C-alpha cells in the first residue's frame, strides 16, 4: 500500500489552457475526495465519489471544473480555460466505505500555478 | 451552514513543553465528528485525532489530547512534551454525521517548536 498518489506534483500553465490532474487512491478505498487549498487557507471541499458515482459537488466546482472516476479506481480532475484564481494546491483523499467517519488519507497534492 | 474557526494563526512552543491550539465551530446538528489534521511542510495532511460528538470523553492519542466542550462548541488540541517534529500547520475540521462525507476545515494554526 503506497498511500494516495497524485500526479503531477507541480503544474505550471498559461491562463486559458486546460489542465488535468490524476489521483490514485488506496486500493481498497472506494471513496475518493477532491479539495482545493489556497495559500493561508484550509482545504475547501470540491467533490467526492463513492465508487464511480459522484455523490456531492461543491458550488466551488464551476462549469470549468469536472471530475471523473470512470471505473471506481483512479480519478481525474480537469480544469478548462484556467484562470489565475485557479492557482492552488489540489488535494485528493480516500477512505473506505464504512470508515469515512474516521477521517481520510490524503495525498501530497498537485500544486497548480496559472501564469 | 457549518463553520470552523481557528483564531490563532501562529503559535510557538519550546521543546518538551505543552501547547494548546484552539478551535470553535458552529453547527445546529447534535451528532457530528471533529478532527485535527497536521500538515507538515511536505504538505501531506495527516490525521492527528478525532472526536465523536456523542461521546463525552475527550479523545487521546499518545501526546495529543482534546478538550471537547460541546455546549460551548469548542474543540481544542493539547500537545504535550512537544517535539521538533510537531512543527506544522494544524487544521481543525468538522463533519456532519449523516448524508455527507464533506469535511469543513478551519484556516489553520502554524505551530513552531523551538529547541
Q: Per-residue pLDDT averaged across A47-62, rounded?
A: 91
The CA-atom distances, in angstroms, between A81 and each of A55, A65, A77, B24 are: 25, 9, 13, 38
Local confidence pLDDT in tens for the 115 residues of chain B: 889 999 999 999 999 999 999 999 999 999 999 999 999 987 789 999 999 999 989 999 999 999 999 999 999 999 999 999 999 999 999 999 888 889 999 999 999 999 9
Question: Within chain A, how many helices (H) and strands (E) appear?
Answer: 0, 11
The pLDDT confidence band at residue A8, using thresholds 50, 70 and 90, is very high
Quick check: B105 and A42 CB within 8 A?
A: yes
What is the pLDDT at residue A62? 81
Quick check: B100 and A56 CB within 8 A?
A: yes
Q: In sequence order, what are the beta bridge partners of A23?
A: A6, A75
- CB-CB: which of B4, B50, B102 is closest to A45? B102
pLDDT of B22-43, one tens digit each?
999 999 999 999 999 999 987 7
In whole angstroms, give the CA distance from residue A69 to residue A8. 17
pLDDT at A86 over 60: yes
pLDDT at A47 over 60: yes
- Closest residue in A to B92 (Cα–Cα): A42
A106 contacts on B by Cβ (under 8 Å): 37, 44-46
Q: In sequence order, what are the beta bridge partners of A50?
A: A31, A53
A103 contacts on B by Cβ (under 8 Å): 35, 37, 47, 50
Mean pLDDT for all residues in chain A: 93
The CA-atom distances, in angstroms, between B88 and each of A29, A36, B40, B76, B84 are: 27, 19, 4, 16, 10
The three cell numbers locating residue B83: 517535539
The DSSP-derived string for B38-100 is EE-TT---EEEEEEETT--SPPEETTEEEEEETTTTEEEEEE-S--GGG-EEEEEEEEESSS-
User: Which residues of chain B from 70 to 109 reach within 8 Å of chain A, CB to CB?
Assistant: 91, 93, 95, 97, 100-108
Amino acid at each position: 500500500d503506497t498511500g494516495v498518489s497524485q500526479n503531477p506534483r507541480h503544474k505550471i500553465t498559461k491562463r486559458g489552457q486546460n489542465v488535468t490532474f490524476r489521483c490514485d487512491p488506496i486500493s481498497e478505498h472506494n471513496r475518493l475526495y477532491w479539495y482545493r487549498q489556497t495559500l493561508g487557507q484550509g482545504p475547501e471541499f470540491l467533490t467526492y465519489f463513492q465508487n464511480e458515482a459522484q455523490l456531492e459537488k461543491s458550488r466551488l466546482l464551476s462549469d470549468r471544473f469536472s471530475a471523473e472516476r470512470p471505473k471506481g479506481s483512479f480519478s481525474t480532475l480537469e480544469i478548462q480555460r484556467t484562470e489565475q484564481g485557479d492557482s492552488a494546491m489540489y488535494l485528493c483523499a480516500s477512505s473506505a466505505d464504512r470508515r469515512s467517519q474516521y477521517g481520510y488519507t490524503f495525498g501530497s497534492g498537485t500544486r497548480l500555478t496559472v501564469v | 451552514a457549518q463553520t470552523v474557526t481557528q483564531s490563532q494563526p501562529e503559535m510557538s512552543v519550546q521543546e518538551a513543553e505543552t501547547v494548546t491550539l484552539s478551535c470553535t465551530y458552529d453547527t445546529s446538528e447534535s451528532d457530528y465528528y471533529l478532527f485535527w489534521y497536521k500538515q507538515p511542510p511536505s504538505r501531506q495532511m495527516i490525521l492527528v485525532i478525532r472526536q465523536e460528538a456523542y461521546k463525552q470523553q475527550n479523545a487521546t492519542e499518545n501526546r495529543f489530547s482534546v478538550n471537547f466542550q460541546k455546549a460551548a462548541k469548542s474543540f481544542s488540541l493539547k500537545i504535550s512534551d512537544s517535539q521538533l517534529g510537531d512543527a506544522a500547520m494544524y487544521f481543525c475540521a468538522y463533519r456532519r454525521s449523516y448524508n455527507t462525507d464533506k469535511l469543513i476545515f478551519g484556516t489553520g494554526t502554524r505551530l513552531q517548536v523551538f529547541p
